[in-house]
Structure 1
Amino acid sequence: MKFINYYEYNHKMFGYLIIDDQSLQDINTDEYNEYIRILFFPKASQVTVDFDEYNNDGPALFFVGPHQKVRIREADQQDAHFIYYNRDFYCIQIHDAEVACDGILFNNIYNLPRTLLSDNESLFAENLYVQIKEELIAKESSQEEMIRTYLKQLIIRATRAWKKQQLGKLNDEPAKEMEFFRDFSRLVEIHFRKKHGVADYADLLNMAPKTLSAKFNRLNLASPNEIIKDRIVLEAKRLLCYSKYNIKEIAYHLGYEDPAYFNRLFTSKTGLTPAFFKKNNHKTEKVQ
Protein backbone atom coordinates (compact mmCIF):
# COMPACT_ATOMS: atom_id res chain seq x y z
CA MET A 1 0.00 0.00 0.00
CA LYS A 2 1.28 3.42 -0.89
CA PHE A 3 1.99 5.61 2.15
CA ILE A 4 -0.38 8.59 2.12
CA ASN A 5 1.82 11.04 3.98
CA TYR A 6 -0.52 13.92 4.64
CA TYR A 7 -3.99 14.81 5.89
CA GLU A 8 -5.80 17.81 4.42
CA TYR A 9 -9.33 19.00 5.04
CA ASN A 10 -11.01 22.41 5.18
CA HIS A 11 -7.74 24.44 5.31
CA LYS A 12 -6.23 22.01 7.86
CA MET A 13 -2.92 20.42 6.85
CA PHE A 14 -0.79 17.82 8.58
CA GLY A 15 2.07 15.97 6.86
CA TYR A 16 4.68 13.36 7.69
CA LEU A 17 7.96 12.39 6.03
CA ILE A 18 10.76 9.97 6.75
CA ILE A 19 13.96 12.00 6.44
CA ASP A 20 15.95 10.35 3.64
CA ASP A 21 18.07 11.58 0.75
CA GLN A 22 15.01 12.54 -1.29
CA SER A 23 13.01 14.31 1.41
CA LEU A 24 16.12 15.93 2.91
CA GLN A 25 16.57 18.05 -0.19
CA ASP A 26 13.01 19.40 0.11
CA ILE A 27 13.19 19.94 3.87
CA ASN A 28 16.37 21.97 3.45
CA THR A 29 14.61 24.39 1.12
CA ASP A 30 11.74 26.72 1.99
CA GLU A 31 9.04 24.30 0.84
CA TYR A 32 7.76 23.71 4.38
CA ASN A 33 8.70 27.11 5.76
CA GLU A 34 5.12 28.30 6.36
CA TYR A 35 4.36 25.32 8.62
CA ILE A 36 5.06 24.43 12.22
CA ARG A 37 7.64 21.63 12.07
CA ILE A 38 8.77 18.92 14.49
CA LEU A 39 11.88 16.90 13.63
CA PHE A 40 12.87 13.73 15.47
CA PHE A 41 16.37 12.24 15.27
CA PRO A 42 16.77 8.91 17.14
CA LYS A 43 20.56 9.06 16.72
CA ALA A 44 23.31 11.65 16.35
CA SER A 45 22.59 14.57 14.03
CA GLN A 46 23.69 18.06 13.06
CA VAL A 47 20.96 20.65 12.58
CA THR A 48 20.95 24.41 12.02
CA VAL A 49 17.93 26.47 13.10
CA ASP A 50 18.06 30.13 12.12
CA PHE A 51 21.72 31.00 12.83
CA ASP A 52 22.55 28.42 15.48
CA GLU A 53 24.04 24.99 14.85
CA TYR A 54 23.19 22.02 17.08
CA ASN A 55 25.42 18.95 17.24
CA ASN A 56 23.48 16.14 18.88
CA ASP A 57 25.20 13.03 20.21
CA GLY A 58 21.91 11.19 20.76
CA PRO A 59 18.13 11.40 20.32
CA ALA A 60 16.66 14.90 19.92
CA LEU A 61 13.47 16.67 18.94
CA PHE A 62 13.39 20.08 17.24
CA PHE A 63 10.34 22.36 17.37
CA VAL A 64 10.47 24.99 14.62
CA GLY A 65 7.91 27.74 14.09
CA PRO A 66 6.67 29.20 10.80
CA HIS A 67 9.29 31.13 8.82
CA GLN A 68 12.18 29.90 10.94
CA LYS A 69 14.97 28.48 8.82
CA VAL A 70 15.95 24.85 9.43
CA ARG A 71 18.76 22.97 7.70
CA ILE A 72 19.69 19.36 8.38
CA ARG A 73 23.45 19.06 8.01
CA GLU A 74 23.85 15.42 9.02
CA ALA A 75 21.45 12.61 9.89
CA ASP A 76 23.13 9.52 8.55
CA GLN A 77 22.01 5.91 8.87
CA GLN A 78 18.86 6.42 10.91
CA ASP A 79 15.10 6.61 10.50
CA ALA A 80 14.63 10.29 11.28
CA HIS A 81 11.13 11.76 11.14
CA PHE A 82 9.62 15.08 10.07
CA ILE A 83 6.08 16.28 10.66
CA TYR A 84 4.62 19.59 9.61
CA TYR A 85 1.22 21.18 10.14
CA ASN A 86 -0.51 24.54 10.00
CA ARG A 87 -2.25 26.52 12.72
CA ASP A 88 -5.65 25.50 11.36
CA PHE A 89 -4.79 21.91 12.22
CA TYR A 90 -3.48 22.73 15.70
CA CYS A 91 -2.79 26.15 17.17
CA ILE A 92 -0.80 26.09 20.40
CA GLN A 93 -1.98 29.58 21.33
CA ILE A 94 -5.67 28.65 21.14
CA HIS A 95 -5.10 25.28 22.85
CA ASP A 96 -2.50 26.42 25.36
CA ALA A 97 -4.47 25.01 28.29
CA GLU A 98 -4.07 21.53 26.76
CA VAL A 99 -0.30 21.44 26.20
CA ALA A 100 1.20 24.55 27.88
CA CYS A 101 4.10 24.72 25.42
CA ASP A 102 3.82 28.28 24.09
CA GLY A 103 6.77 30.19 25.50
CA ILE A 104 8.62 26.91 26.09
CA LEU A 105 8.94 24.69 23.01
CA PHE A 106 7.93 27.58 20.78
CA ASN A 107 8.69 31.28 21.30
CA ASN A 108 10.89 30.63 24.32
CA ILE A 109 13.10 33.46 25.52
CA TYR A 110 16.29 31.46 24.98
CA ASN A 111 15.47 30.78 21.32
CA LEU A 112 16.29 27.11 21.99
CA PRO A 113 14.28 24.83 19.68
CA ARG A 114 15.96 21.57 20.76
CA THR A 115 14.80 19.01 23.31
CA LEU A 116 17.23 16.21 24.12
CA LEU A 117 15.68 12.82 24.82
CA SER A 118 16.56 9.94 27.12
CA ASP A 119 16.39 6.43 25.68
CA ASN A 120 12.91 5.93 27.15
CA GLU A 121 11.68 9.27 25.83
CA SER A 122 13.13 8.44 22.42
CA LEU A 123 11.22 5.14 22.32
CA PHE A 124 8.04 6.96 23.29
CA ALA A 125 8.55 9.51 20.49
CA GLU A 126 9.36 6.77 17.98
CA ASN A 127 6.15 4.97 18.88
CA LEU A 128 4.09 8.13 18.42
CA TYR A 129 5.54 8.71 14.97
CA VAL A 130 4.76 5.10 14.02
CA GLN A 131 1.17 5.53 15.19
CA ILE A 132 0.84 8.79 13.24
CA LYS A 133 2.10 7.03 10.12
CA GLU A 134 -0.35 4.15 10.62
CA GLU A 135 -3.20 6.59 11.09
CA LEU A 136 -2.35 8.38 7.85
CA ILE A 137 -2.28 5.06 5.98
CA ALA A 138 -5.50 3.68 7.48
CA LYS A 139 -7.63 6.77 6.85
CA GLU A 140 -10.24 5.60 9.36
CA SER A 141 -13.06 7.69 10.82
CA SER A 142 -11.96 10.36 13.31
CA GLN A 143 -8.50 10.32 11.68
CA GLU A 144 -7.94 14.02 12.31
CA GLU A 145 -8.62 13.77 16.03
CA MET A 146 -6.43 10.68 16.43
CA ILE A 147 -3.49 12.40 14.75
CA ARG A 148 -4.04 15.47 16.90
CA THR A 149 -4.10 13.29 20.03
CA TYR A 150 -0.70 11.78 19.15
CA LEU A 151 0.66 15.25 18.36
CA LYS A 152 -0.45 16.57 21.75
CA GLN A 153 1.22 13.65 23.55
CA LEU A 154 4.48 14.38 21.75
CA ILE A 155 4.30 18.09 22.65
CA ILE A 156 3.44 17.46 26.31
CA ARG A 157 6.28 14.97 26.84
CA ALA A 158 8.78 17.25 25.08
CA THR A 159 7.63 20.26 27.11
CA ARG A 160 8.32 18.40 30.36
CA ALA A 161 11.77 17.36 29.15
CA TRP A 162 12.66 20.86 27.88
CA LYS A 163 11.77 22.48 31.21
CA LYS A 164 14.01 20.08 33.11
CA GLN A 165 16.91 20.70 30.73
CA GLN A 166 16.71 24.47 30.31
CA LEU A 167 15.04 26.12 33.29
CA GLY A 168 17.19 24.97 36.18
CA LYS A 169 15.96 26.36 39.49
CA LEU A 170 12.76 27.61 37.90
CA ASN A 171 11.48 24.01 37.95
CA ASP A 172 11.51 24.14 41.75
CA GLU A 173 9.49 27.35 41.88
CA PRO A 174 5.70 27.53 42.32
CA ALA A 175 3.65 26.96 39.17
CA LYS A 176 2.77 30.66 38.98
CA GLU A 177 6.47 31.48 38.41
CA MET A 178 6.59 29.13 35.43
CA GLU A 179 3.48 30.85 34.07
CA PHE A 180 5.17 34.21 34.55
CA PHE A 181 8.16 32.97 32.53
CA ARG A 182 5.85 31.82 29.74
CA ASP A 183 3.86 35.07 29.81
CA PHE A 184 7.01 37.15 29.43
CA SER A 185 8.22 34.94 26.56
CA ARG A 186 4.94 35.28 24.71
CA LEU A 187 4.74 39.03 25.24
CA VAL A 188 8.24 39.53 23.84
CA GLU A 189 7.34 37.46 20.77
CA ILE A 190 4.21 39.55 20.17
CA HIS A 191 5.61 43.02 20.84
CA PHE A 192 9.38 43.05 20.20
CA ARG A 193 9.03 45.09 16.99
CA LYS A 194 7.44 48.01 18.84
CA LYS A 195 8.28 47.62 22.52
CA HIS A 196 12.02 47.66 23.24
CA GLY A 197 12.30 48.49 26.93
CA VAL A 198 11.93 46.49 30.13
CA ALA A 199 9.43 49.07 31.37
CA ASP A 200 7.14 48.28 28.43
CA TYR A 201 6.85 44.63 29.44
CA ALA A 202 6.70 45.39 33.15
CA ASP A 203 3.68 47.54 32.38
CA LEU A 204 2.04 44.70 30.42
CA LEU A 205 2.69 42.38 33.36
CA ASN A 206 1.42 44.94 35.89
CA MET A 207 4.65 45.20 37.85
CA ALA A 208 7.54 47.59 38.36
CA PRO A 209 10.56 47.23 36.03
CA LYS A 210 12.83 46.55 39.01
CA THR A 211 10.53 43.73 40.14
CA LEU A 212 10.60 42.18 36.67
CA SER A 213 14.41 42.31 36.49
CA ALA A 214 14.75 40.98 40.05
CA LYS A 215 12.72 37.87 39.20
CA PHE A 216 15.13 36.94 36.44
CA ASN A 217 18.20 37.83 38.50
CA ARG A 218 17.07 35.69 41.44
CA LEU A 219 16.86 32.63 39.19
CA ASN A 220 20.15 33.37 37.38
CA LEU A 221 18.36 33.87 34.08
CA ALA A 222 19.44 36.33 31.40
CA SER A 223 18.15 39.83 32.11
CA PRO A 224 14.85 40.93 30.50
CA ASN A 225 16.72 43.67 28.64
CA GLU A 226 19.12 41.15 27.06
CA ILE A 227 16.25 38.82 26.14
CA ILE A 228 14.36 41.63 24.38
CA LYS A 229 17.43 42.83 22.50
CA ASP A 230 18.39 39.27 21.49
CA ARG A 231 14.95 38.75 19.95
CA ILE A 232 15.22 42.03 18.00
CA VAL A 233 18.67 41.10 16.70
CA LEU A 234 17.50 37.63 15.64
CA GLU A 235 14.74 39.20 13.54
CA ALA A 236 17.22 41.70 12.14
CA LYS A 237 19.48 38.83 11.05
CA ARG A 238 16.57 37.12 9.30
CA LEU A 239 15.65 40.29 7.44
CA LEU A 240 19.25 41.07 6.53
CA CYS A 241 19.69 37.55 5.12
CA TYR A 242 16.37 36.81 3.49
CA SER A 243 14.60 40.05 2.61
CA LYS A 244 15.15 42.79 0.07
CA TYR A 245 14.86 45.54 2.70
CA ASN A 246 17.80 47.88 3.07
CA ILE A 247 19.23 48.54 6.52
CA LYS A 248 17.23 51.73 7.07
CA GLU A 249 13.99 49.91 6.17
CA ILE A 250 14.86 47.05 8.53
CA ALA A 251 15.47 49.53 11.34
CA TYR A 252 12.04 51.09 10.75
CA HIS A 253 10.44 47.63 10.49
CA LEU A 254 11.83 46.84 13.95
CA GLY A 255 10.55 50.06 15.46
CA TYR A 256 13.68 52.24 15.34
CA GLU A 257 13.20 55.73 13.98
CA ASP A 258 16.95 56.30 14.19
CA PRO A 259 18.82 53.77 12.00
CA ALA A 260 22.09 54.78 13.67
CA TYR A 261 20.78 53.52 17.02
CA PHE A 262 19.76 50.24 15.39
CA ASN A 263 23.23 49.93 13.86
CA ARG A 264 24.87 50.40 17.26
CA LEU A 265 22.58 47.83 18.89
CA PHE A 266 23.22 45.22 16.20
CA THR A 267 26.98 45.78 16.26
CA SER A 268 27.17 45.61 20.05
CA LYS A 269 25.26 42.30 20.09
CA THR A 270 26.96 40.58 17.16
CA GLY A 271 30.34 42.26 16.78
CA LEU A 272 29.45 42.99 13.14
CA THR A 273 27.80 45.94 11.47
CA PRO A 274 24.46 45.25 9.75
CA ALA A 275 26.05 46.10 6.40
CA PHE A 276 28.87 43.60 6.89
CA PHE A 277 26.48 40.90 8.11
CA LYS A 278 24.16 41.43 5.13
CA LYS A 279 26.99 41.37 2.61
CA ASN A 280 28.35 38.06 3.91
CA ASN A 281 25.06 36.26 4.62
CA HIS A 282 22.45 37.53 2.19
CA LYS A 283 20.40 34.77 0.51
CA THR A 284 17.80 34.86 -2.24
CA GLU A 285 15.08 33.46 0.04
CA LYS A 286 12.50 35.77 1.57
CA VAL A 287 10.83 36.06 4.93
CA GLN A 288 7.51 37.66 5.65
Structure 2
Amino acid sequence: MTHFEYPKNHSVIYRYRNPELGGQILLANQQADLHPYKNDDFFKVIWNKGSDFSFEIDGQRISLKKNQLICLTPLQNPDYSTFDSEYYILLFNREFYCIHENDDEVSCEGLLFWGSSERPVVQLNEEEKPKFETLFQVFEDELNTRDNIQGEMLRMLLKRLIIKSTRLARKQFFPQNLGKKNTELIRQFNILVEQHYRDCHQVSDYAELLHKSPKTLSNLFAEAGQKTPLQLIHHRLVLEAKRQLLNTEKLAKEIAFELGFDEPAHFSRFFKKETGKSPSQYRNIS
Protein backbone atom coordinates (compact mmCIF):
# COMPACT_ATOMS: atom_id res chain seq x y z
CA MET A 1 0.00 0.00 0.00
CA THR A 2 1.35 3.41 -0.93
CA HIS A 3 1.13 6.59 1.06
CA PHE A 4 0.94 10.22 0.00
CA GLU A 5 1.60 13.18 2.26
CA TYR A 6 0.08 16.57 1.55
CA PRO A 7 2.08 19.72 2.20
CA LYS A 8 1.91 20.85 5.81
CA ASN A 9 2.21 24.39 7.13
CA HIS A 10 2.49 25.73 3.57
CA SER A 11 5.92 24.12 3.25
CA VAL A 12 5.22 23.10 -0.35
CA ILE A 13 6.67 19.61 -0.19
CA TYR A 14 4.90 16.88 -2.12
CA ARG A 15 5.94 13.41 -1.08
CA TYR A 16 5.13 9.89 -2.21
CA ARG A 17 6.44 6.84 -0.39
CA ASN A 18 5.94 3.11 -0.54
CA PRO A 19 6.28 1.69 3.00
CA GLU A 20 6.72 -1.88 1.79
CA LEU A 21 9.74 -1.11 -0.42
CA GLY A 22 10.94 2.06 1.27
CA GLY A 23 10.68 4.00 -2.00
CA GLN A 24 10.32 7.77 -1.80
CA ILE A 25 10.10 10.70 -4.18
CA LEU A 26 9.69 14.33 -3.12
CA LEU A 27 9.09 17.56 -5.00
CA ALA A 28 9.78 20.87 -3.27
CA ASN A 29 10.23 24.54 -4.04
CA GLN A 30 12.05 27.41 -2.37
CA GLN A 31 9.56 27.69 0.47
CA ALA A 32 10.16 24.16 1.70
CA ASP A 33 12.22 23.06 4.67
CA LEU A 34 14.40 20.23 3.36
CA HIS A 35 16.65 20.04 6.41
CA PRO A 36 14.99 16.81 7.65
CA TYR A 37 16.02 15.13 4.38
CA LYS A 38 19.58 16.49 4.26
CA ASN A 39 21.35 13.27 5.21
CA ASP A 40 19.01 10.82 3.51
CA ASP A 41 20.29 8.80 0.56
CA PHE A 42 18.51 10.75 -2.15
CA PHE A 43 19.44 11.41 -5.72
CA LYS A 44 18.73 15.09 -6.41
CA VAL A 45 17.62 17.10 -9.42
CA ILE A 46 17.84 20.86 -8.79
CA TRP A 47 16.50 23.37 -11.29
CA ASN A 48 17.20 27.04 -10.63
CA LYS A 49 14.32 29.04 -12.09
CA GLY A 50 15.26 32.40 -10.60
CA SER A 51 18.28 34.54 -9.85
CA ASP A 52 21.82 33.18 -9.73
CA PHE A 53 22.89 31.56 -6.46
CA SER A 54 25.65 29.30 -5.19
CA PHE A 55 25.99 26.57 -2.58
CA GLU A 56 28.69 24.35 -1.17
CA ILE A 57 29.16 20.59 -1.45
CA ASP A 58 32.09 19.03 0.40
CA GLY A 59 34.14 22.19 0.21
CA GLN A 60 33.39 22.83 -3.46
CA ARG A 61 31.40 25.90 -4.45
CA ILE A 62 28.72 25.24 -7.06
CA SER A 63 27.06 28.11 -8.93
CA LEU A 64 23.70 27.87 -10.65
CA LYS A 65 22.51 30.52 -13.06
CA LYS A 66 18.90 30.99 -14.09
CA ASN A 67 17.47 27.95 -15.90
CA GLN A 68 20.40 25.74 -15.07
CA LEU A 69 19.85 22.24 -13.75
CA ILE A 70 22.19 20.00 -11.77
CA CYS A 71 21.86 16.33 -10.83
CA LEU A 72 23.53 15.04 -7.67
CA THR A 73 24.10 11.57 -6.22
CA PRO A 74 23.43 10.58 -2.58
CA LEU A 75 27.12 11.25 -1.94
CA GLN A 76 26.59 14.97 -2.51
CA ASN A 77 24.54 16.71 0.15
CA PRO A 78 24.20 20.47 -0.33
CA ASP A 79 23.21 22.86 2.41
CA TYR A 80 19.64 23.68 1.38
CA SER A 81 19.46 26.58 3.83
CA THR A 82 21.83 28.57 1.59
CA PHE A 83 19.57 28.28 -1.45
CA ASP A 84 18.21 31.72 -2.29
CA SER A 85 16.22 31.69 -5.49
CA GLU A 86 13.14 30.27 -7.15
CA TYR A 87 13.72 26.60 -7.83
CA TYR A 88 12.40 23.06 -8.01
CA ILE A 89 14.12 20.22 -6.15
CA LEU A 90 13.21 16.64 -6.93
CA LEU A 91 14.52 13.98 -4.53
CA PHE A 92 14.23 10.23 -4.95
CA ASN A 93 15.94 7.17 -3.49
CA ARG A 94 17.14 3.89 -4.98
CA GLU A 95 14.19 1.99 -3.57
CA PHE A 96 11.81 4.17 -5.59
CA TYR A 97 13.51 4.02 -8.98
CA CYS A 98 16.79 2.15 -9.10
CA ILE A 99 15.59 -1.30 -8.06
CA HIS A 100 13.66 -1.41 -11.31
CA GLU A 101 15.32 -2.65 -14.48
CA ASN A 102 16.54 0.36 -16.39
CA ASP A 103 18.79 0.87 -19.37
CA ASP A 104 22.27 1.98 -18.27
CA GLU A 105 21.68 5.33 -19.91
CA VAL A 106 18.74 6.23 -17.67
CA SER A 107 19.46 4.33 -14.47
CA CYS A 108 20.79 5.67 -11.18
CA GLU A 109 24.21 4.63 -12.46
CA GLY A 110 23.65 6.27 -15.82
CA LEU A 111 25.47 9.04 -17.65
CA LEU A 112 23.61 11.85 -15.90
CA PHE A 113 24.85 10.92 -12.43
CA TRP A 114 28.11 9.09 -13.16
CA GLY A 115 29.19 10.20 -16.62
CA SER A 116 31.58 12.78 -15.24
CA SER A 117 33.60 13.33 -12.10
CA GLU A 118 32.43 16.94 -12.24
CA ARG A 119 28.73 17.39 -11.73
CA PRO A 120 27.52 18.75 -15.06
CA VAL A 121 25.40 21.88 -14.85
CA VAL A 122 22.88 21.61 -17.68
CA GLN A 123 21.66 24.79 -19.35
CA LEU A 124 18.00 24.88 -20.39
CA ASN A 125 17.45 27.05 -23.45
CA GLU A 126 14.24 28.85 -24.37
CA GLU A 127 13.03 25.82 -26.29
CA GLU A 128 13.62 23.37 -23.45
CA LYS A 129 12.42 25.54 -20.57
CA PRO A 130 8.64 25.22 -21.18
CA LYS A 131 9.04 21.45 -21.68
CA PHE A 132 10.68 21.07 -18.27
CA GLU A 133 8.13 23.42 -16.72
CA THR A 134 5.32 21.24 -18.00
CA LEU A 135 7.04 18.09 -16.81
CA PHE A 136 7.45 19.42 -13.27
CA GLN A 137 3.82 20.57 -13.24
CA VAL A 138 2.74 17.06 -14.19
CA PHE A 139 4.91 15.75 -11.35
CA GLU A 140 3.01 18.01 -8.97
CA ASP A 141 -0.35 16.87 -10.34
CA GLU A 142 0.57 13.21 -10.00
CA LEU A 143 1.85 13.70 -6.46
CA ASN A 144 -1.63 15.03 -5.68
CA THR A 145 -3.34 11.99 -7.22
CA ARG A 146 -3.86 9.01 -4.95
CA ASP A 147 -4.55 5.72 -6.69
CA ASN A 148 -2.99 2.30 -7.22
CA ILE A 149 -0.93 3.33 -10.25
CA GLN A 150 0.46 6.55 -8.77
CA GLY A 151 3.90 5.06 -8.14
CA GLU A 152 4.27 3.73 -11.68
CA MET A 153 3.19 7.03 -13.17
CA LEU A 154 5.75 8.89 -11.08
CA ARG A 155 8.48 6.47 -12.17
CA MET A 156 7.52 7.06 -15.80
CA LEU A 157 7.78 10.80 -15.31
CA LEU A 158 11.12 10.45 -13.54
CA LYS A 159 12.48 8.32 -16.38
CA ARG A 160 11.35 10.96 -18.87
CA LEU A 161 13.08 13.69 -16.86
CA ILE A 162 16.32 11.68 -16.72
CA ILE A 163 16.19 10.94 -20.45
CA LYS A 164 15.67 14.60 -21.38
CA SER A 165 18.39 15.77 -19.02
CA THR A 166 20.79 13.06 -20.22
CA ARG A 167 20.36 14.14 -23.84
CA LEU A 168 21.17 17.73 -22.93
CA ALA A 169 24.16 16.72 -20.79
CA ARG A 170 25.58 14.51 -23.53
CA LYS A 171 25.25 17.32 -26.07
CA GLN A 172 26.67 20.04 -23.82
CA PHE A 173 29.49 18.25 -21.99
CA PHE A 174 30.86 15.45 -24.14
CA PRO A 175 32.73 16.03 -27.42
CA GLN A 176 30.66 14.93 -30.39
CA ASN A 177 33.48 12.73 -31.65
CA LEU A 178 33.94 10.96 -28.31
CA GLY A 179 31.26 8.39 -29.10
CA LYS A 180 28.87 6.46 -26.89
CA LYS A 181 31.38 3.63 -26.35
CA ASN A 182 33.93 5.99 -24.83
CA THR A 183 31.44 7.91 -22.69
CA GLU A 184 30.27 4.54 -21.41
CA LEU A 185 33.85 3.65 -20.48
CA ILE A 186 34.18 6.91 -18.52
CA ARG A 187 30.94 6.15 -16.72
CA GLN A 188 32.11 2.66 -15.82
CA PHE A 189 35.40 4.05 -14.50
CA ASN A 190 33.60 6.52 -12.24
CA ILE A 191 31.35 3.78 -10.85
CA LEU A 192 34.30 1.47 -10.22
CA VAL A 193 36.14 4.23 -8.35
CA GLU A 194 33.12 4.63 -6.09
CA GLN A 195 33.04 0.89 -5.45
CA HIS A 196 36.77 0.29 -4.92
CA TYR A 197 38.47 3.54 -3.89
CA ARG A 198 39.30 2.18 -0.42
CA ASP A 199 41.28 -0.72 -1.85
CA CYS A 200 42.39 0.41 -5.32
CA HIS A 201 44.53 3.55 -5.40
CA GLN A 202 46.27 3.15 -8.75
CA VAL A 203 45.01 3.73 -12.29
CA SER A 204 46.37 0.30 -13.22
CA ASP A 205 43.90 -1.30 -10.77
CA TYR A 206 40.94 0.13 -12.69
CA ALA A 207 42.52 -0.43 -16.09
CA GLU A 208 42.70 -4.12 -15.25
CA LEU A 209 39.06 -4.20 -14.16
CA LEU A 210 38.07 -2.51 -17.43
CA HIS A 211 40.41 -4.64 -19.57
CA LYS A 212 42.15 -1.51 -20.83
CA SER A 213 45.66 -0.13 -20.47
CA PRO A 214 46.34 2.79 -18.08
CA LYS A 215 47.50 4.84 -21.07
CA THR A 216 44.21 4.22 -22.88
CA LEU A 217 42.27 5.52 -19.88
CA SER A 218 44.50 8.57 -19.52
CA ASN A 219 44.16 9.43 -23.20
CA LEU A 220 40.39 8.99 -23.07
CA PHE A 221 39.90 11.33 -20.11
CA ALA A 222 42.17 13.90 -21.76
CA GLU A 223 40.12 13.70 -24.95
CA ALA A 224 36.94 14.21 -22.92
CA GLY A 225 38.45 17.25 -21.20
CA GLN A 226 38.15 15.73 -17.74
CA LYS A 227 40.56 15.32 -14.84
CA THR A 228 43.10 12.52 -15.13
CA PRO A 229 42.09 9.09 -13.80
CA LEU A 230 44.61 9.41 -10.95
CA GLN A 231 43.21 12.81 -9.98
CA LEU A 232 39.73 11.29 -9.80
CA ILE A 233 40.91 8.47 -7.54
CA HIS A 234 42.66 10.95 -5.26
CA HIS A 235 39.62 13.24 -5.24
CA ARG A 236 37.39 10.41 -4.01
CA LEU A 237 39.85 9.46 -1.26
CA VAL A 238 40.10 13.06 -0.08
CA LEU A 239 36.32 13.45 -0.17
CA GLU A 240 35.82 10.47 2.13
CA ALA A 241 38.64 11.57 4.42
CA LYS A 242 37.03 15.02 4.79
CA ARG A 243 33.67 13.49 5.64
CA GLN A 244 35.19 11.22 8.25
CA LEU A 245 37.16 14.09 9.80
CA LEU A 246 34.11 16.37 9.95
CA ASN A 247 31.39 13.88 10.89
CA THR A 248 33.14 11.37 13.16
CA GLU A 249 35.56 11.37 16.06
CA LYS A 250 37.81 8.77 14.47
CA LEU A 251 41.54 9.29 14.76
CA ALA A 252 43.43 10.11 11.59
CA LYS A 253 45.19 6.75 11.76
CA GLU A 254 41.82 4.95 11.89
CA ILE A 255 40.66 6.84 8.81
CA ALA A 256 43.96 6.06 7.12
CA PHE A 257 43.53 2.32 7.59
CA GLU A 258 39.86 2.45 6.49
CA LEU A 259 40.94 4.15 3.27
CA GLY A 260 43.57 1.53 2.49
CA PHE A 261 46.73 3.33 3.55
CA ASP A 262 49.34 1.04 5.11
CA GLU A 263 50.88 3.83 7.17
CA PRO A 264 49.10 6.79 8.86
CA ALA A 265 52.06 9.00 7.95
CA HIS A 266 51.52 8.20 4.27
CA PHE A 267 47.88 9.20 4.58
CA SER A 268 48.76 12.47 6.34
CA ARG A 269 51.27 13.40 3.62
CA PHE A 270 48.74 12.53 0.92
CA PHE A 271 45.97 14.56 2.57
CA LYS A 272 48.17 17.64 3.05
CA LYS A 273 49.41 17.47 -0.52
CA GLU A 274 45.84 17.37 -1.82
CA THR A 275 44.26 19.94 0.53
CA GLY A 276 47.10 22.08 1.83
CA LYS A 277 46.22 21.12 5.42
CA SER A 278 47.07 18.19 7.67
CA PRO A 279 44.11 16.04 8.82
CA SER A 280 44.20 17.64 12.28
CA GLN A 281 44.35 21.16 10.82
CA TYR A 282 41.41 20.45 8.54
CA ARG A 283 39.33 19.08 11.41
CA ASN A 284 40.11 22.02 13.70
CA ILE A 285 39.64 24.74 11.09
CA SER A 286 36.42 23.27 9.68
Give TM class, smaller chain: 0.7 to 0.9
Once residues 114 and 250 of structure 2 are traced to their aligned partners in structure 1, the CA distance between those partners, rounded to angstroms, is: 24
CA drift at 1:219: 4.1
1:267 and 2:272 aligned: yes
Once residues 242 and 108 of structure 1 are traced to their aligned partners in structure 2, the CA distance between those partners, rounded to angstroms, is: 28
Give CA deviations for 1:169-222 in whole Å, capped at 9, x if unaligned. 2x3223211111111111111111110001100100112222322333344432
- Of 12, 23, 40, 1:13 maps to 23
Show the counterpart of 2:283.
278
Once residues 100 and 254 of structure 2 are traced to their aligned partners in structure 1, the CA distance between those partners, rounded to angstroms, is: 30
1:15–1:83 contact (8 Å) kept in structure 2:
yes
CA drift at 1:54: 1.9
Show the counterpart of 2:187.
182
1:201 and 2:182 aligned: no
1:118 and 2:122 aligned: no
Once residues 218 and 90 of structure 1 are traced to their aligned partners in structure 2, the CA distance between those partners, rounded to angstroms, is: 33
- Of 83, 87, 91, 1:84 maps to 91
Structure 1: 5+ residue stretches without partners:
282-288
Show the counterpart of 2:50.
43
CA drift at 1:74: 3.2
CA drift at 1:135: 0.8
Q: Alignment identity in percent?
A: 31
1:98-137 mapped onto 2 (5 Å cutoff): 99=106, 102=109, 104-112=111-119, 114-137=121-144
Structure 2: 5+ residue stretches without partners:
8-13
Give CA deviations for 1:47-67 in whole Å, capped at 9, x if unaligned. 322322222221122322224
1:149 and 2:149 aligned: no
Total equivalences in the alignment: 273
- Of 53, 59, 62, 2:67 maps to 59
Q: Which amino acid aligns with 2:56?
A: T
1:101–1:156 contact (8 Å) kept in structure 2:
no
Once residues 253 and 284 of structure 2 are traced to their aligned partners in structure 1, the CA distance between those partners, rounded to angstroms, is: 15
Say if 1:130 and 1:226 are closer, same or farther in 2 by CA, change over 3 A.
same
3-state DSSP of counterpart to 1:88? helix
Show the counterpart of 2:10.
none
Once residues 171 and 148 of structure 2 are traced to their aligned partners in structure 1, the CA distance between those partners, rounded to angstroms, is: 37
2:105–2:111 contact (8 Å) kept in structure 1:
no
Show the counterpart of 1:253.
258
Q: Which amino acid aligns with 2:24?
A: F
CA drift at 1:265: 1.4
Show the counterpart of 2:11.
none
2:272–2:278 contact (8 Å) kept in structure 1:
yes
Say if 1:150 and 1:230 are closer, same or farther in 2 by CA, change over 3 A.
same
1:239 and 2:247 aligned: no
Question: What value does the CA root-mean-square deviation take over the aligned residues?
Answer: 2.4
2:21–2:95 contact (8 Å) kept in structure 1:
yes
Once residues 264 and 93 of structure 1 are traced to their aligned partners in structure 2, the CA distance between those partners, rounded to angstroms, is: 43
CA drift at 1:96: 3.8
Show the counterpart of 1:285.
none
Q: Which moved more, 1:206-215 or 1:82-91?
A: 206-215
Say if 1:268 and 1:84 are closer, same or farther in 2 by CA, change over 3 A.
same
3-state DSSP of counterpart to 1:70? coil
Q: Which amino acid aligns with 2:69?
A: L
1:75 and 2:84 aligned: yes
3-state DSSP of counterpart to 1:106? helix
TM-score (structure 2 length as normaliser): 0.85
3-state DSSP of counterpart to 2:95? coil
TM-score (structure 1 length as normaliser): 0.85
- Of 20, 25, 41, 1:34 maps to 41
Show the counterpart of 2:196.
191
1:41–1:75 contact (8 Å) kept in structure 2:
no
Q: Which moved more, 1:109-118 or 1:268-277?
A: 109-118
Once residues 56 and 112 of structure 2 are traced to their aligned partners in structure 1, the CA distance between those partners, rounded to angstroms, is: 16
Show the counterpart of 1:173.
178
CA drift at 1:158: 1.4
